[in-house]
Each structure stands twice: as C-alpha cells, then as structure tokens.
Structure 1
Amino acid sequence: MTADRSNTSRWAHVAERLPVHLEDLSGPAAGTVELPLHLTWSGLRSFDIGDEKLLLGLYRIVLTNGLRDDLIGYLNAELLVRHWPRLRIAVGKPVRTCWEQRFPELVAAVAA
C-alpha cells in the first residue's frame, strides 16, 4: 500500500531551501565569486558578476544546487529580479515554480 502524498508537494525540498524574504539574498552585486566544491564539483568555480554570461551560470548553479545559506550568501536580490526572465528558463520547472510562487516580484519581472 502506498502512502497518500496528495497533500505533499513533490517539490517541497526545493521550497524548504528558499529564503523567507527576497531581500534576504545579500550576495555580492559586483566583483568575482568563487563557489565552494559542494556547488561546483567540476568545471568553472570562479565567476565575474560583471560578465552577464558568467553571472547567469553562477545563479543557475546556486539556484539549482544551493542550500538556503548558499542562496542567501551568493545571490543578490536585485540581480536575481533583473535577470529572472532569462534565469527562469535555465533552472527548470521545480525551481522556477517554487521561486515564483514564493516571490511574486519575480513573476512581475517576467511580465515587464
């Protein structure tokens, strides 16, 4: 017999990682960020935030693999909102859905 999971979101593990407020994202807005091995175990680890391609790669990695402390420490709320229209495509449906349900300002950024 299977457990009834109708009240449990299949993406609860993603939602549990989210910050309480978007403003909690206090990551750098400029400079270079070096991610730890638990986020980038192979490939590029250093990202120049001034380079949009590298910024999008950094944010995709952190949004997809990061724990709450990673999200808060590496993501910047203003940059996330500004780049959300492109990021939302790169992160996949579970991440996109959870972030947009929690933070309506991201949905507004897409509509703008």
Structure 2
Amino acid sequence: MPATPQHHPAWSPAGAAADSGPDGTDLQLYQEKFRRRLPHALDDLRGPTQGVVEAPATVVWSGLRAFELGNERQLMSLYRTVLAEGMREDLCALLNRDILLRWWPTLRILVSTTVCGVWEERFPQLRALADVPPAQPPARRRRHHRGPAAA
C-alpha cells in the first residue's frame, strides 16, 4: 500500500477522461451520472417560457439565482447550469422543451462534451440540430454613466 493517500480526480469531463483506464471506465461512470438524470422524453420538459425563474440552491449554489427568460444571456446561463447540475426533477421543472430545441445549437457548445453527448445520444431531435450554426451571442448592453454632469 502506498505511503501517501490515493487522490481521486474531481468529477469533471477533463478529469474523468484523463484518468480513465484503457476501457474508459471513469468516463463511462461520468456519462452514466448524466444519463440517470435525463427526462424520459423531451415533452417532460415543461418549465416556464417567460418571466423570472428562481433556481433552487441545489442547482445554482452561488451567484445569480433569479434568471429573466427574456434576457438571452440569463436564459443561456440558466439552461447551461441546469443541464450540468440539475437532477431529473430540476430538468423537468426548469427547462422547456421548445426553448431547449430552439437554443440547442448554442447550448451544445456551452455545456461539456459529456453532457452534450448524453443528451444527443438519448434524443435524436437534438442530434439533428448538431450541424445548425449557433446563434450569435447577444450584444452586451452598455451601461451609460449618468453622473452629476448628465443631470
């Protein structure tokens, strides 16, 4: 037995792929983690289509937790986080089928290759969108300083 404790890599796509053996066991376990969370069908994704969505702390544990679905950047942030961190119940409650399909060409490049692969493997509708170019990122709104001189 080694004198120093064995370090297990953090569960991340890079860590799982780099430390998997010849048979890819670690990567397979990582993929299975996401497969178990998948909804049974895309129609199970009945999340809101407008307004503000408050994500639970079990999904978003730091930073912004309320997302305005009318703001494309916030929508992408919510969906990316839920796809990566949400359990099946979270996916079904927070994601919407039509929004997911509309934005999948962009989302697929924002999530890990493992998450993308698992979703496209299970849902041919998403795989069919793999060659559609992603949407241009929305322009950032510049905040104009309105100090005393602007008054």
Q: Which residue of 1 aligns with 2:93?
A: 73
Q: Which residue of 27, 32, 35 corresponds with 2:55?
A: 35
Match status 1:46 vs 2:66: yes
Q: Which has the larger radius of gyration?
A: 2
Higher RCO (CA < 8 A, seq sep 6+) = 1
Q: Which 4+ residue blocks in structure 1 deviate beyond 6 angstroms?
A: none
For residues 7 and 54 of structure 1, what CA distance do their matches in structure 2 show? Answer: 35
5 Å-filtered alignment, 1:91-106, equals 91-106=111-126
SS in 2 for 1:94: helix
- Report the structure, 1 or 2, having the larger helix content: 1
Deviations 1:23-58 (A, max 9, x none): 100000111100111111110000011111100000
- Which blocks of at least 5 consecutive residues in structure 1 are unaligned? 1-5
Q: Which secondary structure state, in structure 1, belongs to the residue aligned with residue 67 of structure 2?
A: strand
Give 1:107 deviation, angstroms.
Answer: 1.7
Task: Tell me, yes or no, if the aligned pair for 1:17 and 1:67 is still in contact at 8 Å.
Answer: yes
2:34 aligns with: 14
C-alpha deviation, 1:110, in angstroms: 2.9
Q: Give the secondary structure class of the aligned counterpart of 1:111.
A: coil
Aligned residues: percent identity? 46
